Amino acid sequence: MNPPLDEHARDLLERLVAPVTAGPVRLAEIEAEVARRRARRRARLAIGASVAAVVVVGAATVPAIRDSHPGPGRATDSTPSAPASPTAISTPTGVRDPAGVIGRLQGSWTLRLTNIAPDGLGFHNELMDARVEVGFRDDVLSTSDGVHAIEARVLADVLAADETADLNVYDVRTASATAAPGETDPPPPILETLSSIAHVSFQGDEVMLSAANYGIIAVLSRD
Amino acid sequence: MQPVTEATGEFAEYAAARWLTLVRSAVLLGCTPSEAEDVAQETLTRCLVGWTKVTAARHRDAYVSAILLNCFRDSRRSGWRRRERPVATVPDASEPDRTDLADTAAAVEAALGTLSPGQREVLTMRFYLQLGEAQVAEALGVAVGTVKSRTARALAALAADTNLADLHDGGPT
């Protein structure tokens, strides 16, 4: 018996697999499976990731708003986690931004509300067509365009590889139903929108803010 | 995130070109033909998930062979077969009569069955996928010397296997 040389090894292996045939590669199944895996991955990251934005209202502003608009029934009054006092709202937490979420949000933006309701369900509301200027400086989101001044302190923990991260906004009860001083028109539902934001994603030059069901309820652009 | 469709063109070409090789490589590693298609399918799925890495690899086929090996090893773990997904249409399993080839294959398969999994992996990658020793070492995560020793032992085992004696002497082909 001759020992199989290296060049014979391939021949042996070829003989073994010669009868093996295979149907055509199932590309559609592969792509569908990849899409499923990416969706599952996004879902896992949405659960595990945490980018929290705590909306705080300036301490000098909050009492005035409360005094002048004490009426019940304001939608934001039902926020379970609403703090009992302004000082409790504005607890400094520092900047945690290992994934660069806050860094990418720095500067001035035009926040454009889509006609998707704050809960992510689609229905048209003319108020939703509003645009307001918002800005990020360090970990503070602020806006005073058409509404009482709002400031949001942002914590960024994780940005997913597919550039979608959680954004959880809470404690936005204070000024949502009030117009800015001197304004006669109803205020745009900025705070309601902010309070419903669950995810943020970066798409080109724009930042999509979406509700828990991924319905895009606002878009940030550099306009 | 790179949309799937962006990679589809190049990926589709690569998948079509390598599909049968991947299936047959899985058979050489120890899969049945039906299992081999599942392993190859899973390999290509993982390739598409990380297509940018695949295309950026110094040696694409070596990189994909490492994925194939991982998929094969996963398939040996319990529960993997339960994750098989049903398909809408069952592929046509009819084949021409290849009795003689099957006899030869059975002899080779019996001989390969005497090898250790590591030796079988090395043989498949070196002589069927035709990867270099360094590429095999990188794919397996072992030293080049380990690849050489496994190769030598595997070839020696095949040389001593009586099932292959007829093949060496001009038996069935």
Residues of B with Cβ-Cβ distance to A32 under 8 angstroms: none
| Length of chain B measured in residues | 173
Output the domain CATH number for residue B20: 1.10.1740
Domain match, B115 and B63 both: no
Position A20 scores a pLDDT of 81
Asked whether residue B92 is domain-assigned, the answer is no
Domain termination site, one of B82, B117, B132: B82
Residue type, position A54, single letter: V
DSSP code, position B88: S
Domain match, B77 and B2 both: yes
Nearest CA in chain A to B160: A3
Residue B67: its H or E element: helix B60-76
Domain match, B76 and B104 both: no
Q: How confident is the model at residue A199 (pLDDT cuts 50, 70, 90)?
A: confident
Asked whether residue B87 is domain-assigned, the answer is no
Nearest CA in chain B to A35: B4
Query: pLDDT at residue A77 above 50?
Result: no
Mean pLDDT of A71-88: 32
Q: What is the pLDDT of residues B109-124, one digit of tens each?
A: 788 888 888 899 998 9
Contact B127 A22 (CB under 8 A): no
Smallest Cα distance from B68 to chain A, Å = 15
Asked whether residue B12 is domain-assigned, the answer is yes
Nearest CA in chain A to B100: A19
Q: Which residue has the higher pLDDT, A146 or B20?
A: B20
Q: What b/e sequence results for B38-49 when a residue is b if at least 16 CB atoms lie within 10 Å of its CB, and e otherwise?
A: bbbbbbbbbbbb
Q: How confident is the model at residue A163 (pLDDT cuts 50, 70, 90)?
A: low
Position A23 scores a pLDDT of 83
Position A29 scores a pLDDT of 86
Query: pLDDT at residue A172 above 70?
Result: no
Contact B111 A9 (CB under 8 A): no
Mean pLDDT of A9-27: 82
Residues of B with Cβ-Cβ distance to A21 under 8 angstroms: 20, 33, 95
Q: How confident is the model at residue B26 (pLDDT cuts 50, 70, 90)?
A: very high
Q: What integer best gives the mean pLDDT of chain B? A: 78
Residue type, position A58, single letter: G
Between strands A51-56 and A168-170, the pairing is parallel
Residue type, position A48, single letter: G
The rounded distance, in Å, linking the Cα atoms of B126 and B136 is 7
**Minimum-distance CB partner of A22 among B37, B158, B173:** B37
Position A40 scores a pLDDT of 67
The rounded distance, in Å, linking the Cα atoms of B142 and B134 is 9
Position A35 scores a pLDDT of 82
Contact A22 B105 (CB under 8 A): no
**Minimum-distance CB partner of A2 among B104, B123, B168:** B168
Domain match, B4 and B74 both: yes
Asked whether residue B4 is domain-assigned, the answer is yes
Number of domains observed in the structure of chain B: 2
Mean pLDDT of A187-214: 73
Mean pLDDT of B85-107: 56
Nearest CA in chain B to A18: B101
Q: What is the pLDDT of residues A20-68, one digit of tens each?
A: 888 888 888 888 888 877 776 665 554 433 333 333 333 223 232 333 3
Domain termination site, one of B27, B53, B82: B82
Query: pLDDT at residue B42 above 80?
Result: yes
Domain match, B110 and B78 both: no
Domain match, B104 and B74 both: no
Position B102 scores a pLDDT of 62
Asked whether residue B93 is domain-assigned, the answer is no
Residues of A with Cβ-Cβ distance to B98 under 8 angstroms: 18-19
Beta-carbon contacts of residue A127 (< 8 Å; ≥ 6 apart): A113, A186, A188, A189
Q: Please give the share of chain A, as a percent, with pLDDT higher than 70.
A: 36
Query: pLDDT at residue B22 above 90?
Result: yes
Mean pLDDT of B26-51: 88
Q: Which of A11, A13, A21, A29 to mutate to test the interface with B (most CBs of B within 10 A)?
A: A13
Query: pLDDT at residue B38 above 80?
Result: yes
ipTM: 0.71
Nearest CA in chain B to A41: B49
Contact A34 B91 (CB under 8 A): no
Asked whether residue B142 is domain-assigned, the answer is yes
Contact A9 B158 (CB under 8 A): yes
What range does the domain containing B24 cover?
A: 1-82
Domain match, B172 and B105 both: yes
Domain match, B2 and B73 both: yes
Chain A residue set in contact with B, beta carbons under 8 Å:
1-6, 8-10, 12-27, 29-31, 33-35, 37-38, 161-164
Contact B168 A15 (CB under 8 A): no
**Taking phi first (over 0 means left), then psi (-120 to 50 degrees means alpha), and beta for anything else, what does residue B87 get?**
beta
Mean pLDDT of B149-157: 89
Residues of B with Cβ-Cβ distance to A161 under 8 angstroms: 1
Domain match, B123 and B66 both: no
